[in-house]
Amino acid sequence: MSALSFRLVFQGASASALVVNLLATPVAIPIAAGFASPSYAAEACTPGKTKKIAFMMKQQTAFRYLHADMPFFVKAAKESGYEVIVQSAENDAQAQVAQAENVITQGVDAIVINPVDFNVAAQIAQMALEAHIPLASYNDLITGADQVAYIGRDAREGGQIAAKALVAKVPKGNYALIGGDPGQTGATDMQAGYHDILDRYVKAGDVKIVMDQLAKGWKAEPAQAFAENALTQTGNKVDAFLVSYDGESLGVMQAVEGAGLKAGSIPVTGQDMELAAMQAIVEGRMDGSVWPAPDEMGTAAGKVAVAMASCKPIESKDVINNGVRNMPWIKTPIYYVDQGSIADFVCKHSYWLSADDVYKNVPSKKPAC
């Protein structure tokens, strides 16, 4: 592992510039041949001249954004000679529109955006198109507006694998589904993935869905309130919680313990492999968390941004339709990490969180990586 030092302009709520020093390891994400977008073919494109790319994040609160998505994106772009303007909208859709207006006015060669709201962000995609700046969606797909490509995991698959993991352990009983922000495809698609697996069990009479809600902003407080309501309404007879983000999972676990139930007595899932969740998994208080591979996603997006900026074809094995047309989908991995596989994850992702931190409260379980 080597130290990566670079300067980037970070424009979030404080709009301040900073110098970032990060540790990162290179991750190879090949963009395989198979599909190219004809509307952005090289012969119809003029390479940018600013040598700047905008990476617009929906927020920086979640651990992954400043420790995986952003540094891996910047590293990939920097290796090709591009400066990255990084922005964070802090889950404010209108603030993201204002940031986009500013980026377009400044002038950049390409924009990659993780939209706060997939409907509102259509306005951003249209502005970029009118300014002749290529734009791609990241992590959440913008709907209803043209763009070059989408880079991200299959959130629906993430819901499916989490649901499969719990059904294998809890084939019958009451399930509570608590998702993320209703304005983001990463939340709505994951919720749909839960249903892809559970609905057949519901039809067979083995599973009953007693709660099915989305929490605006992916916040712990509404998630905890949803969990408390589910427990109250069922007399504490909830057998599994499918939860779409680790921050929300913490709220759910608080609700479980607040109801007088033993920590870990009800399986709880999450997403993102944040420290508190990883500690809960190794301590047996949480079943597992979906890993959306933000390191690989960030690297892939940085490479796509460079390709857009230099008028190279965007190619991918997969396509996705956002209501306007089919476009390249650079699909990145997603998988479930539970109590049985977390030690392997910790050892293979040393850049993420240290084994000492993850196993702080149960040092005897720490793997010898």
CATH number for the domain spanning 322: value is: 3.40.50.2300
Q: Same structural domain for residues 51 and 143? A: yes
Confidence of residue 5 (pLDDT cuts 50, 70, 90): very low
User: 329-368, pLDDT tens digit by residue?
Assistant: 999 999 999 999 999 999 999 999 999 999 999 999 999 9
Total domains in the fold of the chain:
2
Q: Same structural domain for residues 205 and 135? A: no
User: 142-190, pLDDT tens digit by residue?
Assistant: 999 999 999 999 999 999 999 999 999 999 999 999 999 998 999 999 9
Between 192 and 12, name the one with better pLDDT: 192
Q: Same structural domain for residues 235 and 310? A: no
**Is residue 220 within 8 Å of residue 251, measured between CB atoms?**
yes
Calculate the alpha carbon distances from 205 to 62, 81, 181, 342 in Å. Answer: 37, 58, 29, 33
Q: Same structural domain for residues 200 and 345? A: yes
Average confidence (pLDDT) over 93-115: 97
In this predicted structure, the answer to whether residue 202 has a pLDDT above a threshold of 50 is: yes
Query: Residue 314: what residue type?
Result: I
User: 243-292, pLDDT tens digit by residue?
Assistant: 999 999 999 999 999 999 999 999 999 999 999 999 999 999 999 999 99
Position of tokens 């599973």?
207
Give pLDDT, residue 352.
96
Q: Could you give the residue ranges of the DSSP H alpha helices within 172-234? A: 185-203, 220-234
User: 32-48, pLDDT tens digit by residue?
Assistant: 333 334 344 434 688 99
Backbone angles phi, psi at 77, to 5 degrees: -70, -40
Provide the b/e sequence for 10-48 (b: ≥16 CB within 10 Å): bbbeeeeeeeeebebeebebebeeebebeebeeeebeeb
Q: Same structural domain for residues 13 and 141? A: yes
Distance from C-alpha of 278 to C-alpha of 262, rounded to nearest angstrom: 18
Q: Same structural domain for residues 198 and 322? A: no
